[in-house]
Amino acid sequence: MSSKITIKDYYRSLTPDDWFKEDEERLIWISVFRIFGIEKGRFNKPAPIWFNDIAVDINYGSIPYLNVGETIIDFKDANETSAKIKGLEEPIVKLDQLREGPIMVIISPFKEFNSAQGEDLQKEKTLKVAGLVAALNSRWLTYKHLFDNTFNIDNGNYYVYSETIRIPTGYKMFDLGGLSLIKLASNSLERLDEPIRERINLALHWYMLSVLDNGIDAFIKCWIALEALAMPDSNVRPINEKLARIYNISYKKAVDRFKIGRIHGLRSDILHNGDRINIDNKLLPYLEAIFVDLLRFELKIDPILYIDRVMSKDDFSFEKIFE
């Protein structure tokens, strides 16, 4: 970016007037990606492109951004399990300058600033555009995601969201005395035939990716883990059959009790219909419980009937999950 233009003027030049009504606060969402493999001497700047409510600009330069540090969680009470974290410290936020180099800047109007889902919606929109660029041009243009900021193009104020705090309420508590079970499970895994062992390893890979994620992405990844673990094809019957054996009930009762088919329906609505479903905060712990029960079954470890533990909580309700 040219040093002769201010950052406010730069963002204004990419923001069409019709993005905002006259009385609206003009906030834009900014996502910046590092481009790989373009030297300054070979860089020929293309014109920005606009479509719908998105602007994409390929540039070479250095721009300021609001950098949010890591949120520190320090539990003062070893038995702390509630959503109220006593040791949560605010992250350090500072204005930094991006190292000069080739960048792709994606901006769009941010009208959901005060919405609980505003951040997720904007990130989802940006990823779709970045995916379009990577697929139809080159992934070199989306080599590394650098930052997301919100910027007021009238007063020049920056805003930034801190990292998502995943509070594991609703999940089973750790047991430091039970870590020996991990060695038992590993030994059991190694004794299995290679195709089964590799299937379980793949399931554990996708399960861990879901643990590190949130919302729809976590749901889809956990469902993929279940498919790898217990579904040879797209039919959920094998899951219900195994749950029937674990809980010593009939197949029909397992179908009615655990609602695997309805959860599969949510997955289909998301992937095949493009529905943007609000994932209830009880669904992910429930899905994890299904995974844990099935994993123990595959590894021939004594069952703990973890699904029952999740379903027995006062605030668990299938009606809320599927509403």
In which band, very low, low, confident or very high, does the pLDDT at 215 lie, cut at 50, 70 and 90? Answer: confident
Helix (H) or strand (E) segment spanning residue 110: none
* Environment class of 58 (CB within 10 Å of its CB; exposed 0-12, middle 13-18, buried 19+): buried
In which band, very low, low, confident or very high, does the pLDDT at 116 lie, cut at 50, 70 and 90? Answer: low
Mean pLDDT of the region 200-221: 91
* Environment class of 48 (CB within 10 Å of its CB; exposed 0-12, middle 13-18, buried 19+): middle
In which band, very low, low, confident or very high, does the pLDDT at 80 lie, cut at 50, 70 and 90? Answer: very low
55-59, 117-121, 197-201, 247-251: range with lowest mean pLDDT: 117-121
* Environment class of 215 (CB within 10 Å of its CB; exposed 0-12, middle 13-18, buried 19+): middle
DSSP secondary structure code for residue 314 in this structure: T
In which band, very low, low, confident or very high, does the pLDDT at 243 lie, cut at 50, 70 and 90? Answer: very high
Q: Are 95 and 65 in contact (CB under 8 A)?
A: yes
> What does the pLDDT read at residue 75?
55
> What does the pLDDT read at residue 2?
55
In which band, very low, low, confident or very high, does the pLDDT at 83 lie, cut at 50, 70 and 90? Answer: very low
SS3 285: helix
Helix (H) or strand (E) segment spanning residue 216: helix 215-230
Q: What phi and psi values does residue 17 have, to the nearest 5 degrees?
A: -60, -30
In which band, very low, low, confident or very high, does the pLDDT at 78 lie, cut at 50, 70 and 90? Answer: very low
Amino acid at 241: E
Mean pLDDT of the region 68-94: 57
If we measure between CA atoms, which residue out of 102, 105, 99 comes closest to residue 42? 102
307 to 42, 100, 197, 201: CA distances (angstroms): 59, 52, 24, 22
228 to 59, 155, 193, 261: CA distances (angstroms): 42, 51, 15, 16
Beta-bridge mates of residue 30: 107, 149
Amino acid at 54: I
Q: Are 241 and 251 in contact (CB under 8 A)?
A: yes
> What does the pLDDT read at residue 81?
44
Mean pLDDT of the region 222-234: 93
pTM of the model: 0.77
In which band, very low, low, confident or very high, does the pLDDT at 59 lie, cut at 50, 70 and 90? Answer: very high
In which band, very low, low, confident or very high, does the pLDDT at 124 lie, cut at 50, 70 and 90? Answer: confident
The whole-chain average pLDDT of the chain stands at: 87
* Cα–Cα distance, 53 to 242 (Å, whole number): 48
Mean pLDDT of the region 72-97: 59
In sequence order, the 6+-apart residues with CB closer than 8 A to the CB of 304 are: 292, 293, 296
Mean pLDDT of the region 134-163: 91
